[in-house]
Structure 1
Amino acid sequence: MSVNGVQGVQPGTASGAGQTAESRRPTDQLGKMEFLQLLVTQLRYQDPLNPIDDREFMAQLAQFSALEQMTENVRWARLSYGLSLVGAAVKYWGTEGQPEIGIVYAVRIDSGEPLLNLGNREIRLEQVIEVAPPSFEEE
């Protein structure tokens, strides 16, 4: 028995549950959920007389684990960097596309992303152009 191809996941299964095309973020990269869906689909439609080699399966799981760890490391690095900016003067892209300057007073985490509080506004880390270290005045 041969399998010619996989047609995709039907609505109401793991990938379609609770999401519409509009709520999914467009991306050209393979995320962890897409990777797991691909792996499950591969297992579901494999030929029972010629199953996937267990070494290949373990290699795919190791790749997934490495991807997960790298994603987590990047998230923590971004949070740490955002927290390190407290007290620093930052130059950032303002709402009109012009550079502006402000002091970071606090950091708020919104959906895992650090938002820098500049007193009268919040900006995303991606808006920062330049950072000046905090200046401590001695009395």
Structure 2
Amino acid sequence: MPKIDPSVYLRNNQPDKSRTPSPELGRDEFLKILMTQLQNQDPLNPMEDKDFISQMSNFSSLEQLMNISSSIESLVQNQAIAPVVQYSNLIGRDVAYHDDEGSQKVSQVTAVSQQDGQALLKLANGETIPANEIGEVSTSQ
């Protein structure tokens, strides 16, 4: 009779999945904890209704906070491009501004970009100026 090597059927063929704890407690983790608690409660002394309602209320609050957080992240991302959108209507128009020496120059806006939350206008003459330095806007001739 052939001998069966136990290492063949005891060997785990899956790669080692090391668990890394997450600092965040999300809805999935909260529900897992709640379900584990319900499954392992003492049948002679079950969880009271008010405790269960309190935990479900906490879960609802968690869900709402996660939705608010997601909305705020979306708002922040939209605000980041706001300067570009705000000044994009200047593309193709002439703007007057003062250079470093104080003399007034006029050039056409060819592009709008953003750096550190500030809108920058790229001009046809090769210069790039902050949008807050324009003194006058006119249509190109």
Name whichever structure is richer in helix by fraction.
Answer: 2
TM-score normalised by L of structure 2? 0.48
TM-score normalised by L of structure 1? 0.49
